[in-house]
């Protein structure tokens, strides 16, 4: 079960709407009760196009403040009346979550609500329309009250939807929740010591709450499981004769199998491949990553039904004072600095070619001068926030 809050945007949520005060009270209550019972609330915004005054970047386009979404709640944008137009992505998301029941609220009754109710019915959803939780303005043919009553009392009931009182709807939500088993979304964070959380000053492990994986988990909240798979010294696809079992490509399939099911993989590797003993140039490292991605994507397609989304992260740049670091000799000093700066565009090209999401960590964080390789707690926190924002932007969460 999901609650859709449709087009309750600044530019149209005003006293021109039928029964405006009751509408505001009812929708706010519906959203609060849904959250209380663990029902996902999804917001939809209508975009009339650039220059219309009702588009991305315009104040009128934003969700009205009294209905503001909580951090982590999904927002989908549309340019057509139906929220379930395949181009929007909401329909695909609902199917991926195996949603059967839709509660539809918002604006306007005779436009986007009507189109969404009928589309939802045609796609096989059980449609619930709580009375007093949609509204509209007068049109050229009917006043607002007549329009509202025509759809809520005549058009939808018995044909496309169950039109229930708000009390009946809340009772349904309350009864539905105990019987609904919703598995948390599982996010695999696969990387090296930057993911493990190596402290460049204390040479221990940074506290879980400050590691980027812990920051991500906190921002995601309930309904998500963040799986830390960071290993110090891990390479992309190279055996390390000195340090032993560090080859990421040899471990990734067992990892995917043991951690399955997985919804998202955040992949950040490449720093250890800069080490002097490997003598790799940037294209060599990118080729390693391509082999790694091919293996992951083949497993995802044939063993996981393509359900896992992937965010590829190019690692932070090696620090300019690497010559003063105790790790400097291992990384070949300035050569590692130069090669690390060449990785991001190559990783971004891989992401484009394999249709993955991409994040350049160096745009958000810098390594700690203590060793010029690792991130301190402050930078780890920033990276976790950046990855959360990217996952949200890509609608992976």
Residues 214 and 252 in one domain: yes
**Token pair belonging to 354:** 């394999």
Neighbours of 1 (CB within 10 A): 20
- Residues 148-198 have pLDDT tens digits of 999 999 999 989 999 999 999 998 888 875 444 456 789 999 999 999 999
Residues 137 and 198 in one domain: no
pLDDT at 182: 53
From the list 189, 99, 228, the residue with the least C-alpha distance to 390 is: 189
| CA dist., res. 325 & res. 203, Å (int) | 13
Residues 106 and 228 in one domain: no
Tell me the H-state helices in the chain: 20-36, 90-96, 114-122, 144-149, 166-179, 193-196, 212-220, 248-259, 282-303, 334-340, 343-353, 377-393
pLDDT at 222: 74
Is residue 223's pLDDT more than 80? no
From the list 75, 105, 69, the residue with the least C-alpha distance to 90 is: 75
Residues 210 and 124 in one domain: no
Residues 169 and 200 in one domain: no
Q: Which of 161, 179, 197 is the last residue of a domain?
A: 179
Neighbours of 272 (CB within 10 A): 26
Residues 7 and 149 in one domain: yes
How confident is the model over 231-242, as a mean pLDDT?
96
Nearest 5°: CA angle at 151, between 39 and 21?
65
Residue 60 sits in a domain whose CATH number is: 3.40.50.850
How confident is the model over 220-232, as a mean pLDDT?
91
How confident is the model over 323-336, as a mean pLDDT?
96
Residues 319 and 358 in one domain: yes
Residues 166 and 202 in one domain: no
Residue 377 sits in a domain whose CATH number is: 3.40.50.1110
Structural domains in the chain (count):
2
How confident is the model over 294-320, as a mean pLDDT?
95
Residues 310 and 381 in one domain: yes
In this prediction the pTM is 0.60
Q: Which of 160, 179, 198 is the last residue of a domain?
A: 179
Q: Which of 179, 211, 244 is the last residue of a domain?
A: 179
Per DSSP, the residues of 172-225 read HHHHHHHH---PPEEEEEEESHHHHTB-TTTSSBPPTTTSHHHHHHHHH-TTEE
- Residues 43-85 have pLDDT tens digits of 999 999 999 999 999 999 999 999 999 988 999 999 999 999 9
- Residues 168-177 have pLDDT tens digits of 999 888 887 5
| CA dist., res. 102 & res. 3, Å (int) | 6
pLDDT at 177: 58
Length of the chain: 397
- Residues 81-126 have pLDDT tens digits of 999 999 999 999 999 888 999 999 999 999 999 999 999 999 999 9
Those residues whose C-beta lies under 8 Å from the C-beta of residue 359, and which sit 6 or more positions away, are 311, 312, 313, 314, 386, 387, 390
pLDDT at 98: 87
Residues 243 and 359 in one domain: yes
Q: What is the extent of the structural domain holding 89?
A: 2-179
Per DSSP, the residues of 188-201 read EEEESHHHHTB-TT
Residues 189 and 174 in one domain: no
β-pairing verdict for 185-191 and 264-268: parallel
Distances (CA, A) of 161 to 117, 149, 356: 7, 14, 38
Q: Helices 212-220 and 377-393 meet at what angle, rounded to 10?
A: 40
Residues 19 and 160 in one domain: yes
């Amino acid at each position: 079960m999901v609650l859709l809050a449709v087009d309750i945007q600044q530019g149209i949520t005003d006293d021109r709407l039928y029964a405006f005060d009751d509408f505001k009270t009812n929708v706010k209550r519906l959203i609060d009760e849904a959250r209380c019972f663990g029902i996902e609330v999804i917001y939809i915004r209508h975009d009339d196009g650039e220059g219309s005054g009702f588009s991305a970047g315009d104040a009128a386009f934003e969700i009205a403040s009294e209905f503001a979404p909580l951090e982590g709640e999904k927002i989908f944008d549309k340019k057509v009346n139906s929220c379930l137009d395949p181009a929007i992505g909401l329909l695909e998301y609902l199917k991926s979550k195996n949603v059967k029941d839709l509660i539809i609220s918002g604006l306007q009754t005779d436009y986007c609500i009507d189109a969404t109710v009928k589309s939802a019915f045609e796609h096989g959803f059980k449609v619930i329309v709580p009375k007093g939780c949609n509204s509209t303005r007068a049109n050229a043919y009917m006043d607002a009250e007549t329009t509202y009553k025509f759809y809520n009392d005549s058009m939808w009931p018995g044909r496309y939807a169950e039109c229930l009182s708000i009390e009946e709807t809340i009772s349904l939500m309350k009864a539905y929740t105990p019987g609904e088993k919703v598995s948390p979304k599982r996010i695999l964070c696969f990387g090296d010591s930057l993911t493990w959380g190596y402290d460049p000053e204390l040479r221990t492990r940074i506290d879980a709450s400050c590691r980027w994986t812990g920051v991500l988990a906190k921002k995601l909240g309930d309904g998500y499981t963040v799986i830390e798979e960071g290993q110090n010294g891990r390479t992309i696809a190279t055996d390390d004769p000195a340090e032993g079992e560090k080859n990421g490509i040899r471990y990734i399939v067992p990892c995917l199998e043991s951690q399955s099911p997985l919804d998202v993989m955040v992949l950040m590797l490449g720093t250890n491949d800069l080490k002097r003993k490997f003598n790799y140039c940037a294209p060599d490292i990118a080729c390693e990553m391509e082999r790694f991605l091919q293996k992951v994507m083949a497993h995802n397609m044939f063993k996981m039904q393509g359900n896992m989304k992937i965010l590829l992260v190019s690692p932070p740049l090696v620090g300019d004072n690497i010559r003063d670091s105790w790790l400097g000799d291992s990384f070949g000093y300035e050569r590692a600095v130069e090669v690390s700066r060449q990785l991001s565009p190559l990783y971004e090209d891989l992401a484009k070619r394999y249709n993955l999401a991409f994040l350049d960590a160096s745009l958000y964080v810098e390594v700690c001068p203590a060793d010029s390789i690792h991130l301190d707690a402050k930078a780890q926190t920033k990276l976790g926030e950046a990855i959360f924002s990217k996952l949200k932007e890509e609608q992976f969460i």
